[in-house]
A and B are shown apart, each in its own frame.
Chain A
Amino acid sequence: MAKDSDLDLLEDGLRKTMLSKSGPELDAALTELGWAEMLSDMPDVAIPMVFRLLGETGSHASVLNDVVLQSSRRPAGGIPVLPFAGGIQVVWERAAVDEIDRWVLDNSTALDVLGGLPLRRVDEGDLLRLAEGRRALAWWLVGSARAMLSLARQHALDRVQFGKPIASFQAVRHRLAETLVAIEGAEATLGLSGEENPDLTALLAKAAAGKAALTAAKHCQQVLGGIGFTEEHDLGHHVKRVLVLDGLLGSSRELTRKAGAGLRARGSAPRLANL
């Protein structure tokens, strides 16, 4: 395990890279920074860090493919089929691909994805192990939610109306407090390693994170008022991103319903967090 100071350096390096690059360029930069080794040698550190930072910086990369392939014991570098909400199936396009993946991409349909993620629709695909991918997306959603909260918090302190910062109004404060509660709750679900039931633990974490990100989007949009609705402000970018990421690998709404069905089948509620 790397030392804390090394991890801080790594995190700083990743953040800087993500702030300057996105998409295929970021894929290439992450490869150079040793993403493949990080993922195989220390996934418990690498996944939370990289995915949370994608959320915080608003950047994107095709690293979800790597996580899903690794946890499904598939060869690295491919393009796995990913379920989206409502039974839709998609692939996350990446630039450098071999022949098989070219075939996958050639048989896919271009989509006009909100916020510009390179997703394409496919008609059929294998069943893959999604738990690790859901955890990764949950970290991404939590990162995006924190980015939105940070934008809204700063705006509330800076924006003056009725002669005082709007952060001094309880209605505004409570929306931001509510957002923090949702984010902290989701992060707590991600803190659970979930050895006893990795699938359900990951499913609930993705559901909690999706819900927290949508809560953050709603409250932060409101606190940011008119400026948050303009294209020049960063909020809209995060809002669009979380709408898409919430749907990927199952929406919060779907996963919650699935958890409910599991309760009915089992006849009791699993206590996943134990002292």
Chain B
Amino acid sequence: MTELFEPAAFRTALRTWLDENDLTPPPGEDSLDAHQKQHLRVLKALYDAGWMRYGWPESAGGLGGPDILRAIVGEEIVGREIDHPGPYSMLDVLTPTMIDYARPELTADMVPRLLSGQESWCQGFSEPGSGSDLASLTTRAEQRGDDWVINGQKVWTSFAQYATRCVLLARTGGPETPNHEAITAFFVDLDTQGVTVRPLRTMHDVDEFCEVYFDDVVVPADRMLGGVGDGWRLAMDLLPYERSTCFWQRIAYLYSRFDALIAEVKDQGQMVDSDMGEAYLALHTLRCRSMTTQHRLGDGEKLGPDTSIDKVLLAGAEQRLYDTARDLLSGAIELDDTPWRTEYLYSRAATIYGGTAEVRRNIIARRLLDLGKE
């Protein structure tokens, strides 16, 4: 089994397996429900065959091996458009968080359910009043005996309508506690009394994001992730995971869409070369940068503010790709309901979700360029 820990051998074996085991989504099913069904089906097949367990520790139901193996699985699955990058990315974000912060028994019990597609989970961070300023969140958790009682509202919670559980940030400190020590994380079952999930209709007509309401939701104390006041640290540790292996598979997806664009525009001749070259240069730069990040993660380095550079490059390359599609495929977005329309519209959010372009630049200025406070 450990011979597969070598990335090139692993990739070859995985590709062979994928060629022999057809996981292509059923044709013509473009609804979010169909995506979710396909997502769970793919995870189950990959988990049963072992692929989904490489790169995760045995304590979490994994088979061990370097983190890079996960990036390779993501690249193959999402790059072949077998699964969509959004749902798939939740694994790479939430699993490390559970491993680092949940009680070992909880991790051992829960993580295999996520990786094997028995369940989906979501991430309850943003609130109506707390977007870029996440530390100002007001959802409260109050201790009552052995339990915590949660009240408040989350928003932009991706795929909450399909999620069984939620990694939730709530305020536990009083007004005198500094923001960054006042937040605690919980692992909440979403079928608990008092939880209401309401999908939000977005500009691109996909109900990916949800509002989640918590009214006197009782959570047992053993579902706390880390200790009281560790929530901000958990969030800061989690965010670089959004920009590591997760990015590698998103990049694979963008390359696959770029291939589709090349096929659609190549008959237009050399008039497309400058625009296509620009998009390719942006994607290539992003891919090179992300590759160094994957290697750093694989070498056990702790990722930090430097991943803000990856995020700025990703958002830029993604919007460049879809701008190019709009420029070169006349009418494909405006006059016809093609996949380019949905994706073009979705790409407008790339500089907003996961930390806005402005917040990312603030972090680069403060933490990487050491420019002092604003």
Which A residues form the contact surface with B (CB < 8 A)? 153, 156-157, 165, 167-170, 173-174, 176-178, 180-181, 184-186, 188-189, 191-192, 204, 207-208, 211, 253, 255-261, 263-264, 267-269, 271-275
Q: Give Cα distance in the complex from A250 to B358, angstroms.
A: 33
Q: Give Cα distance in the complex from A160 to B280, angstroms.
A: 41
Whether A188 lies near B285 (C-beta < 8 A) is yes
Chain A residue at smallest Cβ distance from B270: A261
Q: Give Cα distance in the complex from A160 to B238, angstroms.
A: 37
Whether A273 lies near B364 (C-beta < 8 A) is no
Q: Give Cα distance in the complex from A22 to B281, angstroms.
A: 33
Q: Which of B204-212, B227-235, B254-262 lies at the interface with chain A?
A: B254-262
Q: Give Cα distance in the complex from A177 to B263, angstroms.
A: 35
Whether A275 lies near B71 (C-beta < 8 A) is yes
The reply to whether the CB of B332 lies closer than 8 angstroms to some CB of chain A is: no
Q: Which of B288-315 contact A (CB under 8 A)?
A: 288-292, 294-295, 309, 312-313
- Within 8 Å by CB of A176, from B262, B288, B369, lies B369
Q: Report A-chain residues with C-beta under 8 Å of the C-beta of B372.
A: 157, 165, 167-168
Please judge, given known A-B contacts A264-B273, A264-B276, whether A273 and B373 are in contact too, CB under 8 Å: no
Q: Give B222 Cβ to nearest chain A Cβ, in Å.
A: 38
- Within 8 Å by CB of A170, from B7, B284, B287, B374, lies B374
Whether A181 lies near B312 (C-beta < 8 A) is yes
Chain A residue at smallest Cβ distance from B277: A260
A-B contacts, 13 listed (Cβ < 8 Å): A168-B374, A169-B374, A185-B289, A188-B288, A255-B277, A256-B278, A258-B277, A260-B273, A260-B275, A261-B277, A264-B270, A269-B280, A273-B288
Which B residues form the contact surface with A (CB < 8 A)? 7, 11, 68, 71-72, 75, 248, 255, 258-259, 262-263, 265-266, 269-270, 272-278, 280-281, 283-292, 294-295, 309, 312-313, 358, 360-362, 364-366, 368-369, 371-374
Q: Give A135 Cβ to nearest chain B Cβ, in Å.
A: 13
Q: Taking chain A's interface residues, is the majority helix, strand, or loop, or is none over half, making it mixed? A: helix
Whether A263 lies near B72 (C-beta < 8 A) is no
Whether B276 lies near A177 (C-beta < 8 A) is no
Q: Report B-chain residues with C-beta under 8 Å of the C-beta of A211.
A: 281
Whether A188 lies near B292 (C-beta < 8 A) is yes
Q: Taking chain B's interface residues, is the majority helix, strand, or loop, or is none over half, making it mixed? A: helix
Q: Report A-chain residues with C-beta under 8 Å of the C-beta of B371.
A: 153, 156-157, 167-168, 173, 176
- Within 8 Å by CB of B272, from A157, A188, A264, lies A264
Q: Give Cα distance in the complex from A44 to B365, angstroms.
A: 31
Q: Give Cα distance in the complex from A167 to B369, angstroms.
A: 10
Given contacts A167-B371, A168-B374, A259-B280, 6 further A-B contacts (CB under 8 A): A181-B364, A204-B284, A257-B273, A263-B266, A269-B258, A273-B288
Q: Give Cα distance in the complex from A178 to B369, angstroms.
A: 11
Whether B262 lies near A268 (C-beta < 8 A) is yes
Chain B residue at smallest Cβ distance from A170: B374
Whether B284 lies near A267 (C-beta < 8 A) is no
Whether B373 lies near A261 (C-beta < 8 A) is no
Q: Report B-chain residues with C-beta under 8 Å of the C-beta of A178.
A: 312, 361
Q: Give A211 Cβ to nearest chain B Cβ, in Å.
A: 7
Q: Give A258 Cβ to nearest chain B Cβ, in Å.
A: 7
Q: Give Cα distance in the complex from A274 to B295, angstroms.
A: 11
Report the 9 A-B pairs with minimum CB-CB distance, sorted nearest first: A260-B277, A260-B273, A173-B365, A256-B277, A177-B364, A260-B276, A188-B288, A188-B289, A177-B361
- Within 8 Å by CB of A256, from B274, B292, B365, lies B274
Q: Give A182 Cβ to nearest chain B Cβ, in Å.
A: 9
- Within 8 Å by CB of A185, from B248, B266, B275, B285, lies B285
